[in-house]
Structure 1
């Protein structure tokens, strides 16, 4: 079959080989390298950016935290950092934990970009899948930041995209397994159980519902490790549980009630644009179910870094949902400004969120 296709007259090299995934991979790597330009003489500023050092420490200790640690934090605090990203760092630690931390991030974000392109292309989610994937590399700016420093978001977003891609290919067990891996990268991955349940009911694929148990099984295994190391199966929530609120949108209501108009308007904008994007996906139920469940759950999380928490929904709620706008020439004209602003955003924020130099030196001495 392939030989017959290649023999068709007039078939160009471009038609025989899709160069775009390679171009996207190269662009993502170059985009990340550009974030590092001001720090070339002191890459420690990249390695010291939180939460990267904490993930390195978990990768080294595997949750067996000594009574005294470089961060002077209680042992249970490290339960906030779920297992998959630290395990990936440890697997590459032969190049150094700091280098491994960044290599995993770059590899995961590059694969996420390429797979995002494949998802858009194969299932007609965009009129210009390549351009939408280029936008994904740089937008939102918070994503540009977090696929350049030590963070679990790139691996998490990769697993979400891969899970949805497999679901669309009718490989349901693999889709649920990837969602399970996402849940031990960031705990919000377990929300895919809810989104897939809604989707399976909508599509009347009831026989696959029992297999959804695969998703929380991964998280239960991670929590079992906490039971063995901390004596507390739910150690994760001893620190992070305080961020969950019974009333939604407290990130907006709290500053609004205190007259903090800047923060109130900022958070209001976040919620509105993400919810609007999720609703615009209604003709694509596999994307809408994930985006709506995820974004609405985030409404109950009160945390000043909500723009980071919302990132996993961004490929769908901000890019696919607004493809009709992103694909227009007007957006293409203004996009370079978005890129420039994004880099200044990263360069300005990175030096403001570093662990102390002495703490980092003590950490590296013990790795």
Structure 2
């Protein structure tokens, strides 16, 4: 019994901390405080939390299942066309629909997010602890709850991101364990939550190619990974049935923001940018660019690069460091190799996104960066600064939640 308590104790702590930090964030809205550190909040309530973008948008497919003949879609909620909601993939709406009989549709958006946030932090702890990726897995998980502040908000309002990141992390875990059926199924769940999970499939191709080059053997279990793109095709089939248009996702309006060449986000004239105050985006690119470089020695590519252009990368091994199998376990090596391919592919797509909210688009890379730099993120110096900044993180979150709300005047389609 004591042994079971010891094993379960971290999970109780994680659940309690997630609930406490979320309720603390919600408290000014629940209590209807009139003034919040100089911010006028007289007309706010918990409805403000429920009204946060993009939560209400997912209620529409949850209620209509993308049926354009449904009176809700026919009524063009928020002035949006029926195919606009094809950009909001079905997995998160299905959970909203499941919780709605108990909580109602608006509250179901945040109940789903809260439950999947707890599950994400649970699995992140399990992932890090089982694969021995940090000496302080519980501490690293606690840091994950607040870093980044944008993620802190996202996990506390109606959003698919916690579910999305959970499925990605679980898929990576089973890929590392070479249980490709589960990796494919969970990757399939991820891609029916948000389409960027397709980048996970591309990353797996890199890992498979490495395994083939090393062993000169084909593992037919790799075929299970086809479930990932296959699941997206099933979503398109659903759209074909409901909308009568297999390609409805690509006709959902101004929702596709991946443009080449990269760095097109730095254009204040574009609708989804609309500002020149973009300096923090460079810091986001810097963090995840450093993550890719830090993981490069685990990729198996550094020797290839050195041999192809020896003059330029003569000292690459010394710069990046050597990775020894006898020091780092094989599973840890394999984990970080998959991390490299995923972060590399995702980073290339991230720098090609033309949208102001790069911080939200980058959330799937966050656990990879935290694990990659876990010694820094669990260091005393970092923790002192993080604790000092916690009030600022909450103030950022409250300020953002008061600003980023959907202009809903008629709640009838959402209730």
Separation of aligned partners in 2, 1:302 and 1:250: 6
Which one of 191, 194, 198 corresponds to residue 186 of structure 1? 194
More helix by share: 1
Aligned length: 349
Which one of 128, 134, 149 corresponds to residue 126 of structure 1? 134
Shift in Å, 1:103: 1.0
Which one of 170, 173, 177 corresponds to residue 169 of structure 1? 177
Q: Does 1:70 align with 2:70?
A: no
Which one of 160, 163, 167 corresponds to residue 159 of structure 1? 167
Q: Which residue of 2 is the match for residue 9 of structure 1?
A: none
Shift in Å, 1:267: 1.9
Shift in Å, 1:269: 1.5
SS at match of 1:251: coil
Separation of aligned partners in 1, 2:4 and 2:237: 51
Aligned residues of 1:21 and 1:114 also touching (Cα < 8 A): yes
Q: Which residue of 1 is the match for residue 391 of structure 2?
A: 340
Cα pair distance change 1:16/1:128, threshold 3 Å: closer
Q: Which residue of 1 is the match for residue 121 of structure 2?
A: 113
Q: Which residue of 2 is the match for residue 206 of structure 1?
A: 218
Which one of 281, 284, 289 corresponds to residue 341 of structure 2? 289
Cα pair distance change 1:173/1:16, threshold 3 Å: same
User: Equivalent residues in 2 for 1:30-69 (5 A)?
Assistant: 30-40=20-30, 41=32, 42-65=45-68, 66-69=73-76
Cα pair distance change 1:23/1:347, threshold 3 Å: same
Aligned residues of 2:180 and 2:222 also touching (Cα < 8 A): no
Aligned residues of 2:192 and 2:235 also touching (Cα < 8 A): yes
Separation of aligned partners in 1, 2:4 and 2:231: 42
Q: Which residue of 2 is the match for residue 362 of structure 1?
A: 412
- List alignment gaps of at least 5 residues for structure 1: 1-5, 7-11
User: Equivalent residues in 2 for 1:300-339 (5 A)?
Assistant: 300-317=352-369, 319-339=370-390
Greater Rg by CA: 2
- Runs of 4+ residues deviating >6 angstroms: none
Aligned residues of 1:197 and 1:209 also touching (Cα < 8 A): no
1:262-295 CA deviation, whole Å, 9 max, x = no partner? 41x3222211111111321343112122122112
1:123-177 CA deviation, whole Å, 9 max, x = no partner? 1111211110000111101111001111110110110111112222332111111
SS at match of 2:295: coil
Separation of aligned partners in 2, 1:325 and 1:158: 23
User: Equivalent residues in 2 for 1:94-113 (5 A)?
Assistant: 94-95=101-102, 96-113=104-121
Given the two structures, how large is their TM-score scaled by the length of structure 1?
0.90
Which one of 96, 106, 117 corresponds to residue 89 of structure 1? 96
Separation of aligned partners in 2, 1:34 and 1:241: 33
RMSD: 2.1
Aligned residues of 1:197 and 1:212 also touching (Cα < 8 A): no
Which one of 241, 249, 256 corresponds to residue 228 of structure 1? 241
